[in-house]
Amino acid sequence: MEKLSLEARLRAEVVSFSGHASFYANDFKGNVIAVNAHEQFEAASAIKVFILAEFFRQVHEGRLDRLRLLTYDKENFVTGSGLLRHLEPGTALSAENLARMMIIISDNIATNMLIDLLGLENINRTIESLGFTSTTLHNKIDFDRYERLGTTTPRDYGVYFEKLREGLLIAPEISREMLDVFKKQQYNRMLTKDFPQYYLDSEDTGDEELIAVASKSGSMDAARNDGGIVFTPYGSYVIVIFTKHFKDPLYYNDHESYIYGARASRLIFNQYLALKGKFE
């Protein structure tokens, strides 16, 4: 491997990181970066993308009415990310709105309600049928009972977004709808922290939004993960960054996983733009 290849530079970016990092990226021009991409990682909330796939599969096949109302009650309560834990039990939401909350604000209660609705075995069956043989949803979210939520590999996660980009996840129209949900996702700090923010926010600048991201992150004590699609004027690429075995279990914006992950993401971003739509 050349000392200044993109893969070598990625490894150099995280040489001071206390944990273990893995990368997967695809520019759809024949260049794929895979660093430790076959390793198993705790997915944390990244597993929610696979639950979303099962939701849309059941909707697409006519087995689930997306407008079906579900009521949040106290038995559904779980701590962690999301809005529902701050609302009073008795709130009714459509299955579709729960699915959107699960992704856009990573709502844990919405996730558990969807797992109950869709069926854990059905979710795992769909994961396998879509070809993600290294991915498993192990249980609902319950930090008192379970030490893990789901496991996957950076390669499986990357291929998920490749299929989504190509319209091959469930059906073309479903892939487009799912992409729209992922573009609204609010927690993409690892991917975008070091991006030029000017190009990400047309509402504040008034100019055309040149860069967009469709992604889903995940964080637990054992993991800080992020992955998705970056859209640019030269095309789009898939990027996945998973981390584990770091020293600091606390949750905050300047966690070293976000710092080193963001450096790696910016490196890939710069290379893609400099070469006008490819990595090499």
Domain identity same for 20 and 101:
no
Task: State the CATH number of the domain containing residue 216.
Answer: 3.40.710.10
Tell me what percent of the residues of the chain surpass a pLDDT of 70.
Answer: 98
158 plus 212 within the same structural domain: yes
Q: Tell me, what's the pLDDT at 74? A: 85
83, 169: one domain: no
70 lies in the same domain as 125:
yes
Residue 54 sits in the same domain as residue 85:
yes
166 and 130 in a common domain:
no
In contact, 212 and 251? CB cutoff 8 Å: no
Phi, psi of 231 (to 5 degrees): -100, 130
| 195-226 pLDDT per residue, tens | 998 888 766 666 677 899 999 999 998 899 99
The two tokens of residue 243 are: 């981390």
Residues 125 and 67 in one domain: yes
How is 29-41 classified by DSSP, letter by letter? SS-EEEESTTS-E
Number of domain units in the chain: 2
Final residue in a domain of this structure, among 122, 152, 182: 152
Q: Where do the H-state alpha helices sit in the chain?
A: 6-13, 48-60, 95-104, 108-118, 120-129, 154-165, 172-183, 189-192, 202-205, 256-274
Tell me, yes or no, whether 9 and 148 share the same domain. Answer: no
Q: In the listed set 152, 172, 192, which residue is the last one of a domain according to the structure?
A: 152
Q: Examine the domain organization and report whether 131 and 82 are in the same domain.
A: yes
Residues 20 and 148 in one domain: no
Domain of residue 200 covers 1-39+154-280
Judgement on whether residues 121 and 59 belong to the same structural domain of the protein = yes
User: Considering 111, 132, 152, which residue would you say is the last residue of a domain?
Assistant: 152
Q: Give the strand order in the sheet containing 150-152.
A: 41-42, 150-152, 136-137
Which has more pLDDT, 238 or 145?
238
Report pTM. 0.95
- Please give the pLDDT value at position 209: 79
> Higher model confidence: residue 4 or residue 59?
59
- What mean pLDDT comes out for the span 14-32? 96
Q: Which phi and psi (to 5°) does residue 90 adopt?
A: 110, -10
**pLDDT computed for residue 187 by the predictor:** 93
Q: Looking at the structure, do residues 104 and 160 belong to the same domain, yes or no?
A: no
